[in-house]
Structure formats: C-alpha cells, structure tokens
Amino acid sequence: MEMEDSNTSTDAHFHGPVLNSGKPPRNLSVMRHCTSSALLADSESDVVIFGFKSPSDEKSRFLPVFRSGSCSDKGPKQFMEDEFICVDNLCHHLASPPTFPSPGAFYGVFDGHGGIDAASFTSKNILKFIVEDSQFPYGVKKAVKNAFVKADHALADSSSLDTSSGTTALTALILGRTMLIANAGDSRAVLGKRGRAIELSKDHKPNRTSERLRIEKLGGIIYDGYLNGQLSVARALGDWHIKGSKGSIGPLSSEPELEEVLLTEEDEYLIMGCDGLWDVMSSQCAVTMVRKELMQHNDPERCSRALVKEALQRNSCDNLTVVVVCFCPDPPPKIEIPRSHRRRSISAEGLDLLKGVLNNAI
C-alpha cells in the first residue's frame, strides 16, 4: 500500500509533564534519555543527498525492524522546552487490529519556544490526530497535513494553554517499508544510508530563499533573520499572537513539508534532532558518528547520548533533543572500499623536478 492514497517493543515514549492550568516551563538540570527496541573516521563534509528512490527499491523484500533511542538535555538554557515521542510498535500502541501495512512506527521531535505548552500538547496528541483522521490509512499524506492543522488550531482554542507558546514539529510515520517525514520548523531528519547522509527535511529558516519569498508575498518581513523581527523559524504550530485569527493566511505557516522514502537494506538508521544539534554539527558528521557508535555497541540510545554530548562540547546554545531509529537488529556492516589495481609511477621529468626541489631544500 502506498502512503499517498507493525515487531517487538510495544511502548510509546512521551516526554514531558502533565499539563495543568499553569504554564511555567520546566527547569531540567539533568539529561533525559530513553531506549526502546523492536526486535568510520569523523567527517564534517557538508555534501549531502536529498531523499530519493532507486529503481531496484520496488523489488526489495526488505522489511524493517524498529529499535529507537533518545536523549534530551536543556543545555545552557534556563528551561527545557523540547519534547519527543518514540513508538516502535504502532499496532500495539493503538491497541486495535491494524488496518495499515505492518510493521508500523512513529517518531517525533518538537522544539518549543515561548514556554513548554505547545510542544507538550503536540507531542501528546499529534499521533492521535493522524490515526483518527478520515483519510487514514489510505490517504496518509493528507491525514498528516490535517493533523498538523488540527493541532495548530487546538492550541488556539484551548483555554488552559498559552496561545503565545509555539513549537516546531518533525514527525516520521513508517508503515511497512514506506516512511513519511513531515516537517514544520527547523528540526531535521537525516537518513543514514551505508554511511551517507540523506537529508529528508529542509530547515524552515526565514532567510531560506523559498521561505523568504513566501513570507514576503504574504506581507511579512524578515529582520535580522527573524520573521517579523520576532521568530527565528518560518513555520511552527501555535504562536497565535503572531498568526492572528484562525482562518487567516499569514507569513507564519503550520503546513508541513513532506518527504516519502521507500526503505531498503541500505537504509540503516534515521536521526531526528532539533536545531540545537544541527547548529553545531553537519548532517554527514552525525551520520558518520552514529554509524561508528552502532558498529561498536549497536545501541541507538547510546548513539543519541553521544550526539547530545558532542553538541554540548561544541558549545551548542540551545536545548538538545535527538532520536535515533534503527531499521535492522544487527549493527551496520563494515564498508569495504575496493583497492585500486592501477599502478602509479612518476615520470623521469617529474623525478628530476623532485630531486631539484630536495637538493635546494638541503
């Protein structure tokens, strides 16, 4: 079944306090992390590849097995405003006979601002909004987009939540071999494909050309990298003090961009992280680091902790949240680089030139 038109761990991991009528953000002084399971040299290269399908993908019989680990730390900030969710077994989590391809899983990272309310509410409700949508599971893309809108509007309607609170939202819904990434904001999803970084989302910064043109067309301005001089992201849920009234089309959008991927044996793991990670680390560096860690201990939780620790050592100035999802129970295989059999030699002219340089250096 296509996304357009679930076996092992059964727990969903939500992180955050129970919401009450108050809205002070949490002050976390320790690192949060969790792990769940469902049965190279460091490189900083910025050359990455955006999601794609190869012709052989359709013929593959590969079926993913989900294992995830997560870690969150407030970093140098006073309050922790990030949230995340990990569901390795969607069928068990929903506690109902599956009407969608199996196995299924769901993951999300939510980077809050202006308080914890928006991120906490969205992390607790976004999956419910997706699966309860009339388009699910036969029109998953539409269902996910509808869920983002529903969560956004719920933040405006609630009397117990701070309407000025906002959050980015990055989700990954996997049904069978088909993974759908939805992103609104500047968190990022990166696929590790045999050691290569495949970026599956785009950072929605106001200065990004496509976002800048959209913002300016809708009457918004960008001042010093901030939307209307107030917000460092071009898309977010909540922030109704900026959006105004429901139904109006303004420069701050809650609509997610979608990227669909058909998983194959070469797709080893997914990294989802808030901008606190990507501000100090390239996508390729993170992929290389996780692959090296998995080959050593095969533990996605320890991988997420290692990424957070590395970001802190690189002086990240933001909250940090990372989710690492593995698609296979085994560690990544060692990549064999074929040796070249071509003989290399230096010409007589080159040899004379080299001798001259060496003689002059003595």
How do residues 193-232 score in pLDDT, each as one tens digit?
999 999 999 999 999 999 999 999 998 999 998 998 889 9
> Is the distance from CB of 175 to CB of 137 less than 8 angstroms?
yes
Residue 143 maps to a domain:
yes
pLDDT at 362: 61
pLDDT at 35: 55
List of the chain residues with pLDDT < 70: 1-60, 338-344, 361-362
Domain that holds residue 77: 12-361
Residue 333 maps to a domain:
yes
pLDDT at 33: 54
pLDDT at 44: 41
Backbone angles phi, psi at 100, to 5 degrees: -135, 165
Residue 145 maps to a domain:
yes
CATH number at residue 132: 3.60.40.10
CA angle, 267 then 270 then 275, to 5°: 145
Residue 178 maps to a domain:
yes
Residue 4 maps to a domain:
no
pLDDT at 288: 97
Residue 168 maps to a domain:
yes
Residue 1 maps to a domain:
no
pTM of the model: 0.80
pLDDT at 53: 47
Residue 158 maps to a domain:
yes
Secondary structure in 3-state letters for the chain: CCCCCCCCCCCEEECCCCCCCCCCCECCCCCEEEEEECCCCCCCCCCCEECCCCHHHHHCCCCCCCEEEEEEECCCCCCECEEEEEECCHHHHHCCCCCCCCCEEEEEEEEEECCCHHHHHHHHHHHHHHHCCCCCCCCHHHHHHHHHHHHHHHHHHCCCCCCCCEECEEEEEEECCEEEEEEECCCEEEEEECCEEEECCCCCCCCCHHHHHHHHHCCCCEECCEECCCECCCECEECHHHHCCCCCCCCCECCCEEEEEECCCCEEEEEEECHHHHCCCCHHHHHHHHHHHHHHHCCHHHHHHHHHHHHHHCCCCCCEEEEEEECCCCCCCCCCCCCCCCCCCCCHHHHHHHHHHHHHHC
Q: Provide the domain count of the chain.
A: 1
